[in-house]
Structure 1
Amino acid sequence: MKKYIISSIFIMLALFSTANLRAQEIKNSKNNYVVLTKKVPQLQPIILTAEALKAEDGENFGDFQVIICGKEIGDITEADKIGKFIDKAEKAGVNIVACGFSLNKFNVDKKRIPKEIKVVENRILYNFQLQKKGYKSISL
């Protein structure tokens, strides 16, 4: 009787462990990326990288996000500095995100932020949340 109970428990544990592994494999079937940058001009090589990864990954290319932060965050409100990157980013499947802490710290008028740019309150927390979802991350 003990052998039967122990065997049953062992089989149940093995089944549940395998199901958990399969769920993780399915969840991470796409390659997702996040880049933190402090300078708008760095969007040029970042977008080129996203395009190359999209071509390389094919159907496995998922989401690509760029988080802008730091003292030059105000550049995202200047059309001559950010405009050309917004169009290129959209075509490449890149989402541009602005850090709310930086916007507040450097007194950037949030009304002047282009509608294509998402604002998150805390870039560090947001980056960690994306990493927990399996995003590959790099900071420039």
Structure 2
Amino acid sequence: MKMYFLSSIVLLLALISSPANAQVQDEQQNYVVLTKKIPQLQPIFLTAETLAEEDGNNFGKFEVIICGQTVKELTDKEMMQKYINKAKEQDVELVACGFSLNKFGVDRKDISPEFRVVENGILYNLQLQKKGYTSISL
């Protein structure tokens, strides 16, 4: 009986410290935020900064998708530069919704090259969620 108990303890410890379990603990935490308002970028960057501190080495990617009528504001390069600088500082990727750009007549050449354009921001957000990204829409 004593041997059975000791064997069970050894097996339990082996399972707890297995490489598969360690891999789950070291998994990167990725985030995506879909927003329709440029002023929300400031609190989004603060959130990215806090999550990076909390997650430490497990902090992965942080992407912000800008959709809706607010994409018109992306053409104001002077106003957008402060957000672009902050995004670079926080290692946040800025993404523009191509569908919104088309719908509201914004030429892709008129927005800063720091923005990556995806064809459909909502679809892209859902695809990232399928990959395990934590997502919120504002």
What interval of TM-score do these two structures reach, taking the shorter chain for normalisation?
A: 0.7 to 0.9
1:42 pairs, out of 30, 40, 43, with 40
Residues 72 and 106 of structure 2 are in contact (CA less than 8 Å); yes or no, is this contact kept in structure 1?
yes
Query: Where do residues 18-97 of structure 1 align in structure 2 (5 Å cutoff)?
Result: 22=20, 29-97=27-95
Q: How far off is 1:136 after superposition?
A: 0.2
Residue equivalent to 1:136 = 134
Q: How far off is 1:81 after superposition?
A: 2.3
Q: Helix, strand or coil for the counterpart of 1:107?
A: coil
Map Cα deviations across residues 46-65 of structure 1 (whole Å, 9 max, x no partner): 00100010011100000000
Q: Once the two structures are aligned, what percentage of the paired residues are identical?
A: 61
Q: Which amino acid aligns with 2:70?
A: E
CA distance in 2 between counterparts of 1:70 and 1:124 reads 10
Query: Where do residues 108-127 of structure 1 align in structure 2 (5 Å cutoff)?
Result: 108-127=106-125
TM-score (norm 2): 0.81
CA distance in 1 between counterparts of 2:33 and 2:70 reads 16
CA distance in 2 between counterparts of 1:98 and 1:36 reads 10
TM-score (norm 1): 0.79
CA distance in 1 between counterparts of 2:77 and 2:122 reads 26
